[in-house]
Amino acid sequence: MQSRTLGRNGLTVSALGLGCMGLNYGYGPGVDKAQAIQLIRDAVDAGVTFFDTAEAYGPFTNEELVGQALAPVRDQVVIATKFGFKDGLVQQGMDSRPERIRAVAESALKRLRTDRIDLFYQHRVDPQVPMEDVAGAVRDLVAEGKVKHFGLSEAGVVSIRRAHAVQPVTALQSEYSLWWREPEREVLPTCEELGIGFVPFSPLGKGFLTGKIDASTRFDPDDFRSIVPRFTAEARQANQALVELLERIAATRQATPAQIALAWLLAQKPWIVPIPGTTKRTRLLENMGAAAIALQADELQRIDDALAHIQVHGERYPPHLAARAGK
């Protein structure tokens, strides 16, 4: 697979990474540990070198399985993890105090079976802790060799600039896809100005852009999409126009809607690295195939022209989660 560089300090990764969260967290019952480990190793075999986890996924169990899966190839891959929630529990709210950041790093190193964290993200901006203190804590860990690169997740422009002034930010991770283009307004221009890479999570619209979800789909009570306004049955029905657009483009390329959605992201900037997740090997290989699809200017224009006439229905987060993004 082709590689891309995040930031200005030489963090080189595969053009597509693997988001590991859904293997055991967030989307209802996960897969068993052995199956999850095998899928991660299948990704390595497919050329993926960039793997995303977090202490909050589980909590802790996702880091453990990622660490076990990648231990045999540790020096060939880049592992990203995150700090920022109290005791690793999302429902407990944020905690990015410097002493907590250090404690998370020390624990994550053990769970990941490694001596360094390649990319350490603040999971969400903590309004109670100055960004300068957060960046300073990570800067200290970088100086000690325990962390290689600093990242932010779902941060707004002001926070990005404040952090970057203390410790260079290598990558910003935020939601970005054909049905959530908000980063194009301010965040992507800021990343380009400062030399920060961009890592889109949910690049397939939490599965919707694959074309495998419709108004009749039923979600597990533990699947967080069950509380997302954009995933009500009414919104899913209204948003089928977006999937139909992808299906039309895919048909001309002998590709799938998911591959076109990922190829569209890859075409936006050379420093964008999407991290689609999956629990199935067939979907993993399908997603990775998108890296070989180079959409042409006329195809990109056709997509943009069509999107101008498609209104996406439903908010991407319920209010209590939306309040944590873009700070």
Q: Tell me which H or E stretch contains 175.
A: strand 169-175
Q: Which two tokens stand for residue 310?
A: 């498609």
User: What phi and psi values does residue 4 have, to the nearest 5 degrees?
Assistant: -135, 160
Q: How far apart are CA 297 and CA 137, in angstroms?
A: 43
Residues 6+ apart with CB under 8 A from 67: 79, 111, 112, 113, 114
> 57 φ, ψ to 5°?
-80, 95
Burial class (CB in 10 A: 0-12, 13-18, 19+), 83: buried
How many residues are recorded in the chain?
Answer: 327
CA pair distance 43, 64, nearest whole angstrom: 17
Q: Name residues whose C-beta falls within 8 Å of residue 279's C-beta, 6 or more positions apart in sequence.
A: 22, 23, 30, 31, 35, 36, 39
Q: Which of 27, 57, 121, 176 is catalytic?
A: 57
Position 93, amino acid: G
Residue 28 falls in which region: left (phi positive, over 0), alpha (psi -120 to 50) or beta = left
CB 63 within 8 A of CB 81: yes
Please confirm, yes or no, whether 176 is among the known catalytic residues.
Answer: no
d(CA 94, CA 85): 4
Active site residues: 57
